[in-house]
Structure 1
Amino acid sequence: MRWGRVFAVALFFGSSLAVPSCVEVTTPKGAVPANCPSGTTNCNGRCVDIGTDVKHCGACGTACPGGLVCSEGVCEISCAKGTTDCGGSCLNLDWTNQSCGECGNACPPGELCAEGVCAKTCPEPYTKCDGKCVDLQTDEGNCGACQAACGTGEECKAGDCALACPSGSTKCGGSCVKLQADAQHCGACNKACKAPAVCAKGSCVGACPSDLLPCDGACIDPRDNPQHCGACGNVCAATEECKSGSCQCKTLCGTACVDPQSDPKHCGGCGKSCAATQTCEFGSCKCKADAVKCGSSICPDLSTNADHCGSCGNECASGAICSDGKCGCPIGLTQCGNTCVNLLTNKSHCGACGAACPGSYYYGNPLVCSGGQCVCPTGQTQCDTGCVYLESDASHCGACGQACTGGKICDGGKCVCKAGFTECSTGCKNLQTDAKSCGACGQSCAANEVCIAGACTCAAGALSCGGACVNPYNDTSNCGACGVVCPEYAPDAGTGYCMSGTCYCGGFAQLCGNACVNVSSNAAHCGKCDNACPAGQLCSGGKCG
């Protein structure tokens, strides 16, 4: 449903309230608006803009065929420049309250669309008119003042409606004339031909050329002259224009041929409807003689207008409607402060004004208002931490406070091991990779072993020597390779050790063969390996003597 002011007498409830807040509200379900806002039309109980509504394009019930869009009350292949296709409706996203900046982005109540952004007030130099931001200096529907619409053929310049002559015509005084054929303005304004001369192609001549007809002192082209269409005196109706010598519909709104000069439903253009308190005069909506004016040209129905309820400037609260000149909330809504709310669903006023549902928790989800009570959303249960899903919440699995442990997850309200894990006495284990439960619960791998595909194997860099995994980088019994033993303790040299897969001797000893020796005192290796001293000599300081 399009947004609009609601003017339904049967929907009024509550007392008068008047606050400085202007919003747009929808017509409650089942209600029929008594009076639609300016610019909209009542189509079977709905206020719609027949200038853009694809289901009511140009007239109520005139739906555009599939693939076409509604642009200025006419079904077209594509939207005009400056407008965007929003579900078949050609909208100006800079100024459309229900599609502000992008299709479907409706401004909140109390805000309006200004230059593609929802705002509380209109920016300079724009003025709020009937819930929209307009430029009173250039807007033809609000020229100089709200609802002061210019007539057909006029344009708004500096806040005044001025005649805008169509192509081929010139403004002479207060009229648009064709200087090529007008006997009173032949070739120039106020240059009249003297009878019996006639005006032909901008000059006063004695007779009309063969392709023109002499009608009322002017040589006219019967192919396009609405006063002499096809023949002298054949006047086209106000809703028609002369084309190829025949009168044809000039303005088609949907399937209806209308006169935008006098039609209150299409005043000045398709879909530009006047309010019930206005008439259409020369393409502009004018206040009726008995209407009350609020400002220079605004004449609202004080009994139903939410901006002027009962008196000029008396605005109803947000969401309220005006009925019999009094502000009130529609059926099903209650006034809380300056807003009409539904106590059955409003989180800030749940069951009573000011009774707000808790909005946040340390853990869990907030409560919602349903049936006037703060409850958890459907499918959730209220625990001490908030609203939770007992089917999947690991802290409240199956019941409040029942937490899953040992790496278990909550599935269907039960604590279970996640896929790929097996429940063991110490928790959920992956038997394919867990070194303490490799292949089976509690089956641990030895030192330097890892669990791969459920089997204990030597870790990267380790060697399997004699059924055990060893580190060849520091194992003195398997130094660099299985079975390579580093020398044991030697009284004069110390103990051998394995580093980076190579045997070394401690202290000042050297590795000679498979033994650590002190070459400073060892007679068999004096000074260096295999340098033996002669019989009877000793080694001292690495020298025999």
Structure 2
Amino acid sequence: MDRRPALRGIALCLALLPLSCAQQLIDGGSFPDSGVTPDTGDLPADVGDPDVKVAPEDVPVGEKDVAPVDLDVGSPEDIPAAPEDLGTPMDLGEPLDSGTPIDLGAPVDTGPPDTGPVDTGPPDTGPVDTGPRCLSPLTECGPGPCVNTQTSAAHCGGCGRTCATGQSCVAGACTLVCTAPTVVCGGACVNTQTDAAHCGMCGRACATGARCTAGRCVGGVIPGASFQVSLSAANCSTVEHEVVTGDDRGGIAVSGSRLFYSGDTSTGRFDLQTLVGESVGRTYDALVSNLATGTLYTLANGSTPLTQTGGTVTSLMELNPTTGGLTSGLVNLSQPIALPATGSVGIFSGYERIILLGGGRAWHISLPSGAVIDLGPLALPAARIACDNWAIWGVAEFFGGALYVDYVQNATTIARMRVPEGTVATLASFTALSDMCSFTVSPLWRRWYFHHELTSQFRSGGSETVGYCDATITGPTLPCRPIDTLCSGACTNLQTSALHCGMCNRACPAGETCNAGVCGLACPAGQTACTGRCVDLNTDSANCGACGRTCIGGQWCIAGACGGGPHYAVDGAPVGVAYIDACGAAGSQRILAFTDDGGTSVTLPFATRWWGAALSAGTPMYISSNGNVQVNTSSGSSSLGGIIPSVGSPNNLMAPQWRDLLQSSSGVCVATVGTAPNRSWVAQWVGANYFTGSATLNFEVIVREGSGVIDLAYGAMSGSGNATIGLENPTGTEAVSPCPSGNSCTAISNSRVRFTPIP
């Protein structure tokens, strides 16, 4: 009988379920079919006694003795058919390790029983391997339940690693977990809306004494040195800047070496001493500086400069103090400041500080830290001069424990406003500031710098002006100005100091002053010491314009230049000679109304030259109704006309229209216009008529101060006819006239004649 199928079943059972199969062997049970159909080809129908005894020693199981078992293998007819196809065999994974495999011994022995010795050794007591107890992601940490070391506070990141009280295990790390509205800052739960050490965000600390309200620092002790300014109109200098910047825009700041001002075309940079300027190549709308160091900035959002559209200020971008170009320097503010795109913004540079006003609030920025203090509600005063930009510019002060901002209030006043109280006082008064809306100060130069359009008390005319005047700085200890030298502990100008003239400790003798570093006579204002005497360089022919510069014979010194003489050159069509309305001038007087053949004497208000001689201020000038002025006489002639030159009286005259005239109700207007030393004296005949014939004549004589130039100007000359026109010398021996033949001709409307002194 073929026992192979049965043996295969035993082997299969032992491989899969070793313990239960061993027990079945002991109990004499049957085993599952091996799944292989036995080969019954040559077996007889009856193979004899199916009960086969297997000796115990032939089937050892480990070291355990097993009783004999009857193994019924049945008859061939009992062998089942081939098993059904059960599909893909089930994946049983790794087989269980059942320890030492059961020793099946040799194949079934059908011979005589084995009578060898029975194995009576000790039983196998080795541990049974049951595999891991906890499945991923859990971990076994000693007796007890499996734990997740990513979330377990008792085993955070590893067995036995316990989190502190109040901490939770997050991703295997002990972490402080805060409940809203608090967040973790510096290992503690804080409310960034109210915590002064973490105001608005972790690490953003408010200034000493400040409180955190809604995530913003409010109030607190103001840091920084005392700084107070006083502005004057002394030692001013100005320059035209439109060619550098284009039309005015607004925005001003000073560095240690340059003044910066922004126009519509570009920001310009100007030397603080000479005001020589050039373009920066771009326009900054938010210039500001630290007056303590001369560090130049623009307000910015991150690394983007703010423009006139406003925005949120989060940083100060540092600019090159000489070129104005952007640098890598950046000051991050401790909290953001929102500024509107309107004219309600004020930018004020200070000493180690900046103050900003905008949107109805005020902020203090400490420099160079960038720490921000919200000073509370404060609006720019309505009474102020606005710039053509989104803001005005001024100066921040701090003295007596209080903050102030200085700004231009109107065309005559620069005001000082206390922050945040809003009380306003006058800082400085002036006569004419024009439309000035931005200014700043340079502590280094002890000056204040400004911009304005058109005419001010600092500059007459012009389109766009930047300039400076002296300022006094109180509070910080300042270095000497670049033009000064420290002598005996004091900053000294060696060019002007009588105690340190040209060098420290070189004192000038009594009665002398220091001029350009050289000691000399102490001369009154307007005079200069030349070769031991005080002279006026504007009029002294031996020192004309400079000591030792002598005019040649026949010339005299006029406004510091040699010129003139006993004769005159005539220009019948001069350029730029305006017809002056003497009747409308301030201080004018009207004489000779309705007068025929009369005259009135007035005095010349300034000194000038006439036919090579000096005319002093107060010289009498006789004005005749018959169209002439007789010089240096108070009782002249009313001659009806004449020829020049002529030794007969009258002589020494200026004749714009010498003829028999009858004055109208307007008569003759006399006035002095302009500013010394460039004034003009004017005698204007208004609506005069010929005594016979119809005519309406308007003409005038203009005498120029200092230079000796005489102009004849004509307005409307309706019905004009021949008249004597020209100048005659005091003796009647020489005359000059514009008339092409002789000295009588017809003056036409709007014509001009100029007489210029020559040798």
Shorter-chain TM-score above 0.5: no
Q: Which bin holds the TM-score, normalised by the shorter protein? A: under 0.3
- More strand per residue: 1 or 2? 2
- Structure with bigger gyration radius: 2
